[in-house]
Structure 1
Amino acid sequence: MNALRTLLFQLVFYTVSIPIVLATPVTALFGRKAIIVNTHLWTKFHHWASRTILGIDQKIEGTQFGEGPVIYAAKHQAMYETLELGRMLRTPAIVMKQELASIPVWGWAARRYGVIVVDREASAGALRRMLREAKVALAEGRSILIFPEGTRVPPGEQPPLRAGFAGLYQMLKIPVVPIAIDSGKVWPRHGPKLPGTVTFRFGEVIPPGLPRAEAEALVHAAINSLDVRQPD
């Protein structure tokens, strides 16, 4: 049954997504507001399809929004939260890997949306560019969304944070809201999706100005608070 639900979801979601995604470069020509509207249409459809077809609900714990822009630092276990967080966090500027931002046409449209490109090499020039893009987002009143572990990981894995998070935290001097997510239990990388509830746990706000090691330790613990390590 779960395999049939997954096939139906893929058929419905990707069929409807094709015209929405293809329209992205066109809407990008009309500015950031137009592409944000197009993106919201896509994420709302994803929310409806995952809930209605796959039976995946959501539970939100903690305070979702603070005052003024913040850095949202989230756990990343599945494609699910990449769309859901964009929908629920009031159009954040998303930190994106250089490889994705370099995809022809789509990468250009993503930049028009207002992504922040992070370079794994972490050169001085790349860090300056990341800071410029982040400051543009803050000037527009947008928060920043980053997956500080740098990549999608299965439940039970808790890799160290990448340098990009510390760079943003130290340079922007704004609060951090960590988000623990357990989407991997219903949205495995391989195999059928499973019905269930994904919890988004918004942790205690981490103030700016802490030493790097302390801030990273607090974020790492908070985003993994829903994660259960697998036995060795």
Structure 2
Amino acid sequence: MAERLRSIAFALFFYGLSVPIVLGAPVAALFGARILRGYCVAWARFGVWSARHIVGIRIHVDGRRAAGPALYAAKHQAMFETMALAALLDAPVIVMKRELARIPVWGWAAQRYGVIVVDRAANAKALRKMMREAREALGEGRSVVIFPEGTRVAPGETPPLRSGFAGLYRALSLPVVPVALDSGRLWPRRGPKRGGIVTFRFGTPLPPGLPRADAEAAVHRGINALES
């Protein structure tokens, strides 16, 4: 019962305040891309703060982020890591599904913040656009976050990587850092959220230029390092 009440309180507080915050994004955008990115990261930190102080979800980090821009390939079990990684990695560009980019106002703000939109159709034109957006992000000196399994998965699930990861890895020529996490234990897709510690484990960076099969195998192992 206590977990359900805390989850309800979190939803009312975080999502209730997120509506005016998101609606204020166009105003922040008037002051430039840097201000908008700071505004978006502040919202992400607000989400992490709310989860900690209302639900009791805390973060523990194993390993270190890369010294410079990198391609972070992360496990995806909950909305929580999208906020946490934006805060931990200083406003990285995030690869997201086209459906999310079409959400009114929020999708517009996300694209101004800087995202790489993935089209499920994955035709040649869509892939070229994705690579162009990725190179633009690299030109700004920002890291890129991709969830290479393509969607949220339940704890214990280890599906193969989608093809988009290999394309970005080849196009960006950046070191790739696998990120394992276990947010799904505390932030399930259905049911109440629970307090506890979410671990983010940053693996050893892999150099650019590895054969596709080697890179995918290493990343798959890395992002599933916390799976039992």
User: What 5-or-longer segments of structure 1 have no aligned partner?
Assistant: none
Deviations 1:8-29 (A, max 9, x none): 1111111221110111233223
Q: Which residue of 2 aligns with 1:150?
A: 150
Q: Would you say 1:51 and 2:52 are equivalent positions? A: yes
- Number of residue-to-residue matches in the alignment: 227
TM-score, with structure 2 as normaliser: 0.96
Measured after TM superposition, the shift of residue 55 of structure 1 is: 0.8
Match of 1:63? Answer: 64
Partner residue, 2:86: 86
CA contact (8 A) 1:8 1:53 kept: yes
4+ aligned runs moved over 4 Å, structure 1 = none
Partner of 1:167: 167
What pairs with 1:100-139 in structure 2 (closer than 5 Å)?
A: 100-139=100-139
2:43 equivalent to 1:39: no
TM-score of the superposed pair, with normalisation by structure 1: 0.94
Deviations 1:102-148 (A, max 9, x none): 33433222211110111222222112111111111111110000000
Q: What corresponds to 1:99 in structure 2?
A: 99
What secondary structure does 2:50 align onto?
Answer: helix
CA contact (8 A) 2:135 2:171 kept: no
Q: Unaligned regions of 5+ residues in structure 2, if any? A: none
C-alpha distance in 2 between matches for 1:57 and 1:154: 20
Deviation of residue 56 (structure 1)?
0.8
CA RMSD of aligned residues (A): 1.2
Aligned mates of 1:47, 1:105 — CA distance in 2: 22
- 1:179 CA drift (Å): 0.2
**What SS class does the counterpart of residue 55 from structure 2 fall into?**
coil
Q: CA deviation at 1:166?
A: 0.6
Q: Is the 8 A contact 1:179 1:223 kept in 2?
A: yes
Q: Deviation at 1:63?
A: 1.1
Partner of 1:141: 141
